[in-house]
Amino acid sequence: KAGVTQTPRYLIKTRGQQVTLSCSPISGHRSVSWYQQTPGQGLQFLFEYFSETQRNKGNFPGRFSGRQFSNSRSEMNVSTLELGDSALYLCASSPRGRGGLDTQYFGPGTRLTVL
């Protein structure tokens, strides 16, 4: 089974621009979560989508948004980029819908650099 894929892998933007990152979950997985990872803050939860609905949201400003499509693929968008948004953005998918606890499987991440 193919793993979680994320595109693009690397991105360089300037302050004030906006960016869209894409994530394709493992086939059959219905939940997609997004995380921001920085050296100072570690892995921080952004949001989780399940069946095209946002289920959970972390403590990030409204500039960070996301959506999920009917095929479970997900995108996250960051508007009005700031230098502090430079980070590794990770997407994780899990089966959900089976009761019990679902393990999250991560993609390779998108390295965003804001200049």
CB of 15 to another protein, least distance (A): 24
CB of 80 to another protein, least distance (A): 26
User: Residue 89's closest CA among 52, 114, 55?
Assistant: 114
- Beta-strand pair 87-94/31-38: antiparallel
Closest CA to 5 of 90, 104, 103: 90
Binding status of residue 99 toward another protein by CB under 8 A: no
27 vs 56, beta carbon nearer another protein: 56
CA distance 83 to 97: 38
**Cβ pair 108, 79 in contact under 8 A:** no
Binding of another protein by 111 (CB under 8 A): yes
> Position of tokens 């069946």?
51
Q: Which residue in 44, 65, 79, 86 binds another protein (CB under 8 A)?
A: 44
Residues within window 49-88 making contact with another protein, judged by CB under 8 A: 55-56, 58, 88
Among 29, 31, 10, 30, smallest CA distance to 21 is for 10
Site membership for another protein, residue 43 (CB under 8 A): yes
- Identify which of residues 18 and 38 has a Cβ nearer to another protein in the complex: 38
Residues at the contact surface with another protein, assessed by CB under 8 A: 4, 33, 35, 42-45, 55-56, 58, 88, 90, 92, 101, 103-109, 111
